[in-house]
């Protein structure tokens, strides 16, 4: 697929998706969502990519779903648009590779929701987060009513969503919405360092950790623990487990093969 609204770059073990509609502050229209969907498919089937970074071009990460496109939708069309966004973000959440949101600026509405579908969020000190939807007469529609509460807790999520207020990066850090705040010019470098430190580990084990955490958070502790035992056992059928433990015992550098 030819991309007009995003840039997909591959650098060694990393893939970088840049949402690239800076004139509209990277607002997500249907076309952009479909391009993100296609990029996820591409990355998902590319064994050379182990970790993904998502960022935005210009001063915004993503300033939300495209209000111009949504303005005249009827209820059926609105639902369809919401389903499209949710489908793409769920695919991202389920991608068998860690995804880091490098939030460089506005992460509002669908932008905050995009970051929430990623595994880890780091933010520039210039980033701003919020779910402004109720100020536009709608609810969050790309997962915000669900993932925000799972990330920052019910009370904080409800306050953010009901008030539609915007918060700065430092406040996002305080409430646990982001893992760290970085100087703007260092954001991408920091995201890449973080991505590479993940990519240095056994890819199958990392993938299984993601699946176990994401699955476990949705079910009771007994089911979750049983799932953990299952993936823990599966690791012992991998070459990388033998390599990781043999390298430790032999006191040498390990060399994982994603096998």
Q: Does 27 bind ligand CAA (CB under 6 A)?
A: yes
Q: How far is CA 16 from CA 39, 45, 100, 106, 188, in A?
A: 10, 15, 10, 18, 10
Q: Is 113 labeled as catalytic in the residue annotation?
A: yes
> Closest separation between CB of residue 77 and ligand CAA, Å?
13
Q: Please state, in angstroms and rounded to a whole number, the distance separating the CA atoms of residues 224 and 134.
A: 35
Q: Does 119 bind ligand CAA (CB under 6 A)?
A: no
Q: Does 98 bind ligand CAA (CB under 6 A)?
A: no
Q: Does 167 bind ligand CAA (CB under 6 A)?
A: no
Q: Please state, in angstroms and rounded to a whole number, the distance separating the CA atoms of residues 130 and 144.
A: 10
Applying CB under 6 A, the span of 24-32, 43-51, 96-104, 224-232 interacting with ligand CAA comes to: 24-32
Nearer to ligand CAA by C-beta: 142 or 256? Answer: 142
Applying CB under 6 A, the span of 141-149, 152-160, 190-198, 229-237 interacting with ligand CAA comes to: 141-149
**Chosen residue from 7, 73, 136, 209 binding ligand CAA by CB under 6 A:** 136
Applying CB under 6 A, the span of 138-146, 178-186, 210-218, 248-256 interacting with ligand CAA comes to: 138-146
**Chosen residue from 106, 118, 129, 212 binding ligand CAA by CB under 6 A:** 106
> Closest separation between CB of residue 166 and ligand CAA, Å?
7
- Give every CB contact of residue 165 below 8 A, 6+ residues apart in sequence: 130, 159
**Chosen residue from 97, 133, 167, 204 binding ligand CAA by CB under 6 A:** 133
Helix axes of 221-235 and 203-216: crossing angle, nearest 10 degrees? 170
Binders of ligand CAA among residues 64 to 83 (CB under 6 A) are: 64-68
Nearer to ligand CAA by C-beta: 162 or 232? Answer: 162
241 phi/psi in degrees, rounded to 5:
-65, -45
Which of the following is catalytic: 9, 93, 113, 183?
113
Q: Is 133 labeled as catalytic in the residue annotation?
A: yes
Torsion region of 89: left, alpha or beta (phi above 0 gives left; psi -120 to 50 gives alpha): alpha
Which residues bind to ligand CAA, rule: CB under 6 A? 24-25, 27, 63-68, 85, 106, 108-110, 113, 132-133, 136, 140-142, 144
Q: Any idea which residues carry the catalytic annotation?
A: 113, 133
């Amino acid at each position: 697929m030819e991309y007009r609204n995003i840039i997909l770059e591959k650098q060694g073990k990393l893939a970088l998706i840049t949402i690239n509609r800076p004139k509209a502050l990277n607002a997500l229209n249907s076309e952009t969502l479909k391009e993100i969907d296609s990029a996820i498919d591409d990355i998902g089937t590319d064994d050379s990519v182990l970790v993904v970074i998502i960022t935005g071009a210009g001063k915004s990460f993503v300033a939300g779903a495209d209000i111009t496109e949504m303005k005249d939708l009827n209820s059926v069309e609105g639902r369809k648009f919401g389903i499209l966004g949710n489908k793409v973000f769920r695919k991202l959440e389920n991608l068998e590779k860690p995804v880091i949101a490098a939030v460089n600026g506005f992460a509002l509405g669908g932008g905050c929701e995009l970051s929430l579908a990623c595994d880890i969020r780091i933010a520039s000190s210039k980033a701003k987060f919020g779910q402004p939807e109720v100020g536009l007469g709608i609810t969050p529609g790309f997962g915000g009513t669900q993932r925000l509460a799972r990330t920052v807790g019910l009370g904080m999520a409800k306050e953010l969503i009901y008030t539609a207020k915007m918060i700065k990066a430092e406040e996002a850090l305080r409430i646990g919405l982001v893992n760290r705040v970085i100087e703007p010019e260092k954001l991408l470098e920091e995201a890449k360092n973080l991505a590479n430190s993940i990519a240095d580990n056994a890819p199958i084990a990392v993938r299984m950790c993601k699946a176990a955490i994401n699955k476990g958070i949705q079910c009771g502790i007994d089911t979750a623990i049983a799932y953990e035992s299952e993936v823990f056992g599966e690791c012992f059928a991998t070459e990388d487990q033998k390599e990781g433990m043999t390298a430790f015992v032999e006191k040498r550098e390990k060399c994982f093969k994603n096998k």
